[in-house]
Amino acid sequence: KAGVTQTPRYLIKTRGQQVTLSCSPISGHRSVSWYQQTPGQGLQFLFEYFSETQRNKGNFPGRFSGRQFSNSRSEMNVSTLELGDSALYLCASSSPGISGNTIYFGEGSWLTVV
């Protein structure tokens, strides 16, 4: 069974640009969560989507947005990039009916803003 797949794995962007990250969850999982990980702040929750609806949202500015498609695939977008947005962005999927709230992470997308 394939795990959570994230693309792209590595990317470099310039301040002010925007970026879109993609996530394909484990087959059958309908919940997708996004986290930002930085050395100083650790893992911080961005948002969670379930059945194409945003179910939870973390404390991030509106520049961070996401969506989920009918096939459960998800994208997140960061607009007007700032240097502080450099981080590892992790997507995680879960299936509340099967695995409770256990989440499984993808390999992440390393974003560097210069």
Which parts of this chain interact with other proteins (CB under 8 A)?
A: 31, 33, 35, 41-43, 45, 48, 55-56, 58, 88, 90, 94, 96, 100-108
**112's torsion region: left (phi>0), alpha (psi -120 to 50) or beta?**
beta
Give the nearer residue to other proteins in terms of CB position, either 33 or 74: 33
In the block, which residue shows the tokens 């930002």?
36
Instruction: Provide the minimum distance between the beta carbon of 6 and other proteins in the complex, in angstroms, as a whole number.
Output: 9
- Which CB atom, from 18 or from 56, has the smaller least distance to other proteins? 56
| Closest CB 60 distance from other proteins, rounded Å | 12
Residue with tokens 């997308």: 109
What is the length of the chain?
A: 114
Other C-beta atoms lying within 10 Å of the C-beta of residue 61: 10
Question: Taking the complex as a whole, how short is the minimal distance between the CB of residue 56 and other proteins, in angstroms?
Answer: 5
Instruction: Find where tokens 């509106």 sit.
Output: 62
* Residue 103: partners with Cβ closer than 8 Å, 6 or more residues away: 31, 33, 92, 93, 94
Nearer to other proteins, 77 or 102 (CB): 102
Closer Cβ to other proteins, 17 or 94, answer by number: 94
